[in-house]
Chain A
Amino acid sequence: MSGPLRAQLGAELRILVRNGEQLLLTIIIPVLVLVFFGLTDVLPSDLDDHMDFLTPGVIALAIMSTAMVSLGIATGFERNYKVLKRLGVTPLGRPRWLAAKTLTVMVVEGVQLALLVPIALALDWNADEARWLLALGAVGTGTVAFAGLGLFIAGRLRAEVNLAAQNGLYIVLLLLGGMVVPFDELPSGLEAVAKYLPSGALADVLRDALVGAGSQPHTSWIVLGAWALAAPIAAALTFRWE
């Protein structure tokens, strides 16, 4: 790893740790959701074991929190504070800035998985049929899609508007994304839309990979892949550094 990349990655991680709201969003909320719904079994799932529905959904929620909301809000404020402008006159360069952001997201996602999977297992989730490589592929593709969305929003809006937009989208995708509310519990019009959102597609492919219970895994892979292609392109075309 080059010196500038190592320096920027260190700065990103230090800022992340010093921002309590980021840790709340990326670590504490997913863990609380998993523990609460894991212990109470109140989610309206058709699956025999409610943990088979809940675990992939919470992992999808965690990925969305990190790759879209946390990344998007932090980047929006960095634009506002002119941090990106200042970095623009250092040897860092945009590719290494993007690499530092990517590695930061990967570190946080690693921590999330290292916490969520053992907690799910402790709550009697049976992972015997999990296809972990496929699940990691889904996490990677979902990360690219959500990061593209987060940067697309952060790259155009003022910091405060971006903050509201990211949080609003987080709630919408959480409720419509098949993460904690199954698609078939949604009104029919919303169900059709939800399956084509990146959150719904990620939850579905993760459910297929981890417990073999995806509702339309092939279609969801195509949908997620399309978001992973379109969102970063849109972000790259519209992003304003200042």
Chain B
Amino acid sequence: MTTSDASSFRGTRLASKGIENVVEVDGLVVRYGRGDRAVTAVDGVSFAARAGQVTAVLGPNGAGKTSTIEVCEGLRRRTAGSVRVLGLDPAGSRSDRASLHRRVGVMLQEGGIYPSARPIDTVRQYCGLHSGSATSSPDELLEMVKLTDRRRTPWRRLSGGEKQRLSLALALTSRPDVVFLDEPTSGVDVNGRDTIRSIIRSLTERGCGVILATHELDEAERIADRVVIFDHGKVLVEGTLDDVRKARQAVRLRTARPLPLADMPASIADWLHEVEPGHYTIEDAPQGLVAALAVWLSEHGIDVIELRAGVASLEDVFKKLTGGES
């Protein structure tokens, strides 16, 4: 099987069951430790992820993304709140958990495989672990993630991208209705990213819900339908990618050298948000501000690389919301 026909390797089960939200998180709280040393990693988070869509969970390190996803996967206990995956509680009864283990695909951020194990053996093992579910053959799965040529290479000798693709193949052995992918393109080269994006698209086309935790905003912007931006354990914004970007109408300015903000007129400088030196945004600019800015730049000999009005990029939105961390 090739990536181009990967969409045919699963049937759709969600549509017939009328499940729209594959994940529903409501008021989730996760605390680690006790007493004075307790740390609140997730603080009242609520969001939903839909069938047939990619939901990107974004946030800086320590924002609570992985803790939230691991609660959804059933790997971590929650302190408070409600979580439903495919309508079932990941921390619920044994039958709920068993059902979810058959229908949920998981790709960990790293590891999860014996270093001496070969891809073909590992995929065979996972196909066997899911033997009660409909599964593709090990050879088909390796073909799909383009690891056929490396099928007998021990995991420790695979490149970073090959390890990620093998991990993705393991997440798909169970005919999943929802897939959690934690940093799937981290360390993956351009061709590997194309393969992973193609597989993700094929999953959503057949109705599978994909929850994608990533640092890589460009990657999220390419493939996400919805985004949830986390910071300090809270959800700052949730919605479709277009809604989140349009909510931040912005003028984007890139200059050849950093602007001397302190020396600029306050009537201009106060509106400029410095994403990084030489890169600025202006939100909800008043009439005449852009013209005044262009004149000032011209008078001071500062070359403009880009001056564009329109929707903000996901990176602009993210940096604005999280204070520049990524």
Contact = CB atoms under 8 A, between A and B. Distances in A.
Contacts of B73: 89
Contacts, number: 86
Contacts of B111: 81-83, 85-86
Interface centre among B108, B110, B117, B125 (most CB of A within 10 A): B125
A92 B112 contact: no
Interface string A90-104: 111100000000000
B102 interface: yes
B130 A90 contact: yes
B128 A10 contact: yes
A7 B112 contact: no
A86 B110 CA distance: 10
Nearest to B130: A91
A86 B171 CA distance: 10
A173 to B, nearest CB: 28
Contacts of A15: 114, 116-117
Contact of B106 (A8, A14, A89): A89
Contact of B125 (A7, A78, A81, A89): A7
B303 to A, nearest CB: 50
Interface size class of B (residues with CB under 8 A): 20 to 34
Contacts of A19: 116
Interface in B114-150: 114-117, 121-122, 124-133
Contact of A11 (B98, B110, B115, B125): B125
Contacts of B75: 85, 88-89, 242
A88 B127 CA distance: 15
B113 interface: yes
Interface string A224-242: 0000000000000000001
Contacts of A81: 111-115
A242 B117 CA distance: 20
B94 to A, nearest CB: 9
Given A8-B129, A11-B121, A91 B108 contact: no
Interface residues of A, number: 26
Given A4-B128, A8-B129, A89 B104 contact: yes
A86 B112 contact: yes
A7 B116 contact: no
B320 interface: no
B101 interface: yes
Contacts of A14: 117, 121
B74 interface: yes
A90 B112 CA distance: 12
A8 B115 CA distance: 16
* A-B residue pairs, 3 tightest by C-beta: A7-B128, A3-B131, A86-B112
25 contacts: A3-B128, A3-B129, A3-B132, A4-B130, A4-B132, A6-B128, A7-B127, A7-B129, A7-B131, A11-B117, A18-B116, A82-B110, A82-B111, A83-B114, A85-B111, A85-B112, A86-B106, A88-B74, A89-B74, A89-B104, A90-B130, A90-B174, A91-B129, A93-B98, A242-B75
